[in-house]
Structure 1
Amino acid sequence: MSQLRTVQVLGGGAGSSARVSSLAAGLVARGVQVTVCAPAGSGHAHGLPASGTRFVAVPRRSDPAAVAALRTACTGADIVHAHGLHAAVRAGIALSGRGTPLVVTWHTRAHAAGARGRLLRMLERKAARAAAVVLGTSWELVDRARRRGARDARLAPAAIPVSRVTGAPDDGKVRAELGAFGRPLLVSVAQRDHDALLDAVRGWRALDPAPLLAVVGETHRTGALGRRIATEGLPVVLAGGPDDIGDLLAAADIAVLSGRGDGGPLLAHEALRLGIPLVAARVDGLPELVGDAAELVPHGDAEALSEAVVRLLADPGRRQRLAEAGRAQAAGWPTEDDTIAHVLSVYDELATPAAAG
């Protein structure tokens, strides 16, 4: 049997990079040859080369030079697997005329209105129709792919690596370093629509002691966040990158998610697994993911978000019940082995007879 050759194409988002790092390592362990194409830096940030994969830096652009680089990297592949909308569009263009099967995973849904919304829908149609199979991490994404013309769209809940807490963190040390000693610590992630989160901070900063919010940041989003935090004097700190989520959450009292974005599901997964009470906006597939194990509020409602956090801080019993419910909910999620086995079954369906043996 010849070795199956796959190319994984990323757009550079933190959550999808973490998931693909796990998938790539699992595929390599099962004898699959894996090349990962992603913007420079993202592969190294998530340990992709160390997992036994070949890493190729490809810009997150659709200009001829970037597409040509991706097309070259995909030469000889039996399966190309794109993660995210923009990666899928670029992979579809790069594979045009080749006949190489394209698998697309939609991890999250992008949102936009007006002209940008129309462009987004056009890109979704291009991605869905270019794919032999679209895998959605929630039924909402599966239905969306079908509406956009996908020939084959399936549910494929994605596992998040369990080992994101590095050893046994010293909670007191983490809190002291952040300036949260003797006060509640809340943890969130930088997302595109962060205004509701910072508006909510104004609702709970009157508490005594005032909670400190630590936001796990990404460089392309933290600029606007930092400016508003400084201007309004908000009790918020920007703390580390995606690899720090587990350690920060392990020291936190509450996890908070106000918006949409790639990092949201990652933080929700981690919070429930660690038994950290979660307050989150009711968006996309999040209610499906967390069930009754989180406090859900309307998206964009800063007052509801703030009030939910204040109520939880005043109710240790409710926090304990959410912690227990979160661990129970997480116990029913697919494991990394489940996810890798499912993806391999899709590859086996699509691989040419020569590649599959």
Structure 2
Amino acid sequence: MTPVSSHSPHGQSSLRTVQVLGGGNAGSSAHVRSLTSGLVARGVRVTVCAPTEAERAHDFTGAGAEHVHVPRSSDPASVAALRMACTNADLVHAHGLHASFRAVLALSGRRTPLIVTWHDRAYAEGARAQFLRLLERRVVRTAAVVLGTTSALVDRARRTGARDARLAAVALPGPREAVEPEDPDRLRAKVRAELGATGRPLLMAVGSLDRHRGYGLLLDAARSWRRLDPVPLVVVAGEGPLRAELQRRIEEEGLPVRLLGQREDVCELLSAADLALLPSGGDSRSVLAQEALHARVPLVATGGGGVPELVGDAAELVPSGDSEAFAAAVVRLLGDPERQEELRDKGARQAAGWPTEDETVAQVLSVYDELTQLRPLI
């Protein structure tokens, strides 16, 4: 790929971009952190507009960006703060529907190009679902380019009226800091002991405890796993509004499931697991699926959203919403070490074909270059 310069051929100053985040999606925040690091290394000036908690979690300033606190709300004060931050920007790149809508409001009346990345679908029911569709239409018809992390999201953007929608290369960001690795076998045994999974299979799911994540299906499946000997332990890393409801079911039904809350050691937990579980039916580019394949952990997932496109034949895929099929796939896989090893090998090959962080930055920078080559001289 031809390298793209962050400098104008007419002597203009280096490119200045504003990245806009809502702060609610860990995957998009990690992507922006990775993107920021790559852009800064190529001479691009980056401002990240995101809630302070996102800055604390992802350290955008540590990647060389300026951070501006902008709350997730689309109230006038938040929009005004974003509009101020976007002054003199060559372009604005928003991530996710709500951040994109906030950017549309902030850029009203300006000719600053807006790029939007859809990392996932926004979920809602009833009247709110209609409201989200209106937001989508407003955003995609305003954006110069919409980048979708899956073909389905690109198609959705086109159907909604996008002028230019493209498939985005989005890498799974690597660890931010190199640390001396602990002996893998020792670490695995330590993690399993801490979780109470010594001598029994350890199954792991990751994600916010929201309605659309499929945890109801997971608990339905876990009922049948009580009959196994030894009984597998299911651990869920994540926090969210369904916690009390899920915990009540776990206790009332005696399910072998532990809710771990928000964890900073997901990679270590996953490496200690026998299987990774993805019960959600609509993930676009699941971070868990990517991490599982990278870590050579066999994955059982429902086959909706962008998961089949992402994993190919490197996972056990079952129909969305079918808890019996999900439970049966887990039981089969636990009893078939050869199939587990086959999935580990296929997963490693599949992951090797995903875009790298450098390729992701190069694609985004090429889009930026397209949109700024014709900038008028001031």
Q: Does 1:218 align with 2:239?
A: yes
Is the contact made by 1:78 and 1:352 (CA closer than 8 Å) also made in structure 2? no
Cα displacement (A) at 1:111: 3.5
Is the contact made by 2:119 and 2:285 (CA closer than 8 Å) also made in structure 1? no
Of 286, 305, 315, the match for 1:265: 286
Unaligned runs of 5+ in 1: none
Cα displacement (A) at 1:117: 2.3
Take 2:267 and 2:166, find their aligned partners in 1: how far apart are those partners? 30
**Residue 233 and residue 39 in structure 1: after superposition, are their counterparts in 2 closer, same or farther (change >3 A)?**
farther
> Equivalent residue of 2:277, what SS?
strand
> Equivalent residue of 1:163, what SS?
coil
Take 2:360 and 2:196, find their aligned partners in 1: how far apart are those partners? 39
Q: Does 1:81 align with 2:93?
A: yes
Is the contact made by 2:205 and 2:277 (CA closer than 8 Å) also made in structure 1? yes
- Structure 2 equivalent of residue 300 of structure 1: 321
Q: Does 1:151 align with 2:163?
A: yes
- Structure 2 equivalent of residue 179 of structure 1: 196
- Structure 1 equivalent of residue 107 of structure 2: 95
**Residue 79 and residue 223 in structure 1: after superposition, are their counterparts in 2 closer, same or farther (change >3 A)?**
farther
Of 21, 38, 41, the match for 1:10: 21
Cα displacement (A) at 1:69: 1.4
> Equivalent residue of 1:121, what SS?
helix
Of 301, 304, 310, the match for 1:283: 304
Of 314, 326, 331, the match for 1:310: 331
Is the contact made by 1:171 and 1:251 (CA closer than 8 Å) also made in structure 2? yes
Of 265, 268, 271, the match for 1:244: 265
Cα displacement (A) at 1:210: 1.1
Unaligned runs of 5+ in 2: 1-6, 8-12
Q: How does 1:186-225 map to 2 (within 5 A)?
A: 186-191=203-208, 192=210, 193=212, 194-220=215-241, 222-225=243-246
Take 2:119 and 2:19, find their aligned partners in 1: how far apart are those partners? 14
**Residue 92 and residue 352 in structure 1: after superposition, are their counterparts in 2 closer, same or farther (change >3 A)?**
farther
Cα displacement (A) at 1:159: 0.5
Q: Does 1:123 align with 2:135?
A: yes
Is the contact made by 1:190 and 1:222 (CA closer than 8 Å) also made in structure 2? no
**Residue 226 and residue 25 in structure 1: after superposition, are their counterparts in 2 closer, same or farther (change >3 A)?**
farther
- Structure 1 equivalent of residue 358 of structure 2: 337
**Residue 204 and residue 223 in structure 1: after superposition, are their counterparts in 2 closer, same or farther (change >3 A)?**
same
What TM-score, normalized by structure 2, do the two folds share?
0.89
Cα displacement (A) at 1:355: 8.7
Q: What's the C-alpha RMSD, in Å, of the aligned pairs?
A: 2.2
Cα displacement (A) at 1:62: 1.1
- Structure 2 equivalent of residue 29 of structure 1: 41
Is the contact made by 1:190 and 1:263 (CA closer than 8 Å) also made in structure 2? no
Residue type at the aligned position of 1:184: P
Q: Does 1:141 align with 2:162?
A: no
1:176-213 CA distances to partner (integer Å, 9 max, x unpaired)? 11111111111111342321112111121221111111
Take 1:275 and 1:221, find their aligned partners in 2: how far apart are those partners? 30
Is the contact made by 1:138 and 1:155 (CA closer than 8 Å) also made in structure 2? yes
- Structure 2 equivalent of residue 52 of structure 1: 64
What TM-score, normalized by structure 1, do the two folds share?
0.94
- Structure 1 equivalent of residue 52 of structure 2: 40
**Residue 99 and residue 354 in structure 1: after superposition, are their counterparts in 2 closer, same or farther (change >3 A)?**
closer
**Residue 28 and residue 241 in structure 1: after superposition, are their counterparts in 2 closer, same or farther (change >3 A)?**
farther
> Equivalent residue of 2:122, what SS?
coil
Aligned residues: 357
Residue type at the aligned position of 1:322: L
**Residue 242 and residue 50 in structure 1: after superposition, are their counterparts in 2 closer, same or farther (change >3 A)?**
farther
Take 1:286 and 1:313, find their aligned partners in 2: how far apart are those partners? 21
> Equivalent residue of 1:55, what SS?
strand
> Equivalent residue of 1:207, what SS?
coil
Take 2:242 and 2:81, find their aligned partners in 1: how far apart are those partners? 27
Tell me the percent identity: 61
Is the contact made by 1:257 and 1:264 (CA closer than 8 Å) also made in structure 2? no
Larger Rg: 2
